[in-house]
Amino acid sequence: MNKQVRTFSEVDRVIHEPGRLMIVALLFAVERVDFLYLLHETEMNKGTLSSHLSRLEEAGYVEIAKTFRGKIPQTLLSLTDSGRQAFEQYRRKLKGAL
């Protein structure tokens, strides 16, 4: 098998999906954000964003915390250490493949 194709086949499928890649890249650059920020930056609808976040949480890449800002509920999101490592590895593989 061609080396480039093999590298592509080895990339993390959880992160490789375009919507989730966007979320992980946005989270990688920050400490913590809320759901509204991701909704605004990704321009996804709430359902799609929620399902991507659930998938990332299942994989252990994203930490989700439910809190309150005054009386308003707020969902805070951050990338876990393994999420950071997975994204860095994904970037390295992508760079090598391209």
Partner 1 sequence: MTEQIPGATKDRVTDYLMRHKRYDNIDGTTEMFFGMMYLAFAINSYVSPVLAKNSFFHLGFAGMLLVMSGIVIPVLCLGAWGGKVVKKHITWPRTGYMAPRKVTQPIAPLILFMLGTAVAAAGLFFVVRYARPHNAVMLPRIMGIAAFVATYAFLVSRLSKEHPWKRFVALFLADSLVVYAIARPGVSNAEFFQPVMIFTGLVWLASGGITLYLYIRRAQPPALESE
> Of these, 55, 57, 89, 91, which contacts partner 1 (CB under 8 A)?
91
Q: Please give the angle made by the CA atoms of 51, 55 and 61, to the nearest 5 degrees.
A: 130
- Please, which of residues 69-88 interact with partner 1 by CB under 8 A? 69, 72-76
Per CB under 8 A, 28 contacts partner 1:
yes
Among 6, 9, 10, 30, binds partner 1 (CB under 8 A): 30
Query: Euclidean distance between the first and final Cα of the chain, in Å?
Result: 16
3-state SS assignment for residue 26? helix
Q: Which of 1, 45, 46, 47 binds partner 1 (CB under 8 A)?
A: 46
Q: Work out the angle between the directed axes of helices 35-42 and 46-58 (0-180°, nearest 10).
A: 120
Contact between 5 and partner 1 by CB under 8 A: the answer reads: yes
